[in-house]
Amino acid sequence: MPFIIAIDGPAASGKGTIARALSQHFGFHHLDTGLLYRATGAKGGDPVAAARGLTPADLARPDLRSAEAGQAASRIAAIPEVRAALVAFQHRFAAQDPGAVLDGRDIGTVICPDAEVKLYVVASDEVRAARRAAELGADPAQMLVELRERDQRDSQRATAPLRPADDAVVLDTSDLSIADAISRAITAVDLARQGR
Ligand SMILES: Nc1ncnc2c1ncn2[C@@H]1O[C@H](COP(=O)(O)OP(=O)(O)OP(=O)(O)O)[C@@H](O)[C@H]1O
Ligand SMILES: Nc1ccn([C@@H]2O[C@H](COP(=O)(O)O)[C@@H](O)[C@H]2O)c(=O)n1
3-state secondary structure string across the chain: CCEEEEEECCCCCCHHHHHHHHHHHHCCEEEECHHHHHHHHHHCCCHHHHHHCCCHHHHCCCCCCCHHHHHHHHHHCCCHHHHHHHHHHHHHHHCCCCEEEEEECCHHHHHCCCCCEEEEEECCHHHHHHHHHHHHCCCHHHHHHHHHHHHHHHHHCCCCCCCCCCCCEEEECCCCCHHHHHHHHHHHHHHHHHCC
The pLDDT of residue 114 is 98
Task: Please state the domain count of the chain.
Answer: 1
The pLDDT of residue 195 is 80
Is 20 within a domain? yes
Range of the domain at 7: 3-186
Mean pLDDT by runs of 10 across the 196 residues of the chain is 97 98 98 98 97 97 96 98 98 98 98 98 98 96 97 98 98 98 98 86
Is 193 within a domain? no
ipTM above 0.85, yes or no: yes
The pLDDT of residue 142 is 96
The pLDDT of residue 103 is 98
Locate the ligand 1 atom nearest the alpha carbon of residue 103 and give its number. 22
Is 196 within a domain? no
Query: Is residue 178 in contact with ligand 1, taking CB distance under 6 Å?
Result: yes
CATH number of the domain to which 63 belongs: 3.40.50.300
Is 194 within a domain? no
Query: What is the whole-number distance in angstroms between the Cα of residue 133 and the centre of ligand 2?
Result: 18
Q: Could you tell me the pTM of the whole model?
A: 0.98
98 is in an annotated binding site: no
Is 191 within a domain? no
Locate the ligand 2 atom nearest the alpha carbon of residue 153 and give its number. 18
Is 192 within a domain? no
The pLDDT of residue 196 is 73
Give the binding-site residues of ligand 2, using a 6 Å CB cut-off.
Answer: 11, 33-34, 37-38, 70, 73-74, 77, 104-107, 150, 154
Is 161 within a domain? yes
Query: Is residue 16 in contact with ligand 1, taking CB distance under 6 Å?
Result: yes
100 is in an annotated binding site: no
